[in-house]
Amino acid sequence: IAGITQAPTSQILAAGRRMTLRCTQDMRHNAMYWYRQDLGLGLRLIHYSNTAGTTGKGEVPDGYSVSRANTDDFPLTLASAVPSQTSVYFCASSVLRSSLNEQFFGPGTRLTVL
């Protein structure tokens, strides 16, 4: 693989179900991010991790959790999905070099919660 992969590509989920979106990068980037993109609202940061073993909250973290056990993987979990979490989710990564954050994005996961 090259770059960032996300799985699944799309998913329809019943409200109340638990769901984990997967993200893997092979660029050895130290930082990773999860965004959601909604029409009219743009990209909004959910959670981030500047290095393996650490995570932080972004603009819209409620209802989501993340973990960063190693450099390559950054899964996003919805513990109990709600319809307002219907969105397109993008994972991104970057090398935090000289404090400048050029981020590279995965292909996205389209999630529908019914």
CA 108 – CA 33 distance, rounded (Å): 12
Of the two residues 14 and 99, which places its CB atom closer to another protein in the complex?
99
Residue 62 touching another protein (CB under 8 A): no
Using the contact rule CB under 8 A, the part of the chain among 14-22, 46-54, 63-71, 72-80 near another protein is 46-54
What are residue 23's phi and psi, to 5 degrees?
-145, 130
Size of the site for another protein (CB under 8 A): 27
All residues at 6 or more sequence positions from 8 whose CB lies less than 8 Å from its CB, including other chains: 21, 22, 109
Q: Residue 43 Cβ, how far from another protein at the closest point, in Å? A: 4
104 binds another protein (CB under 8 A): yes
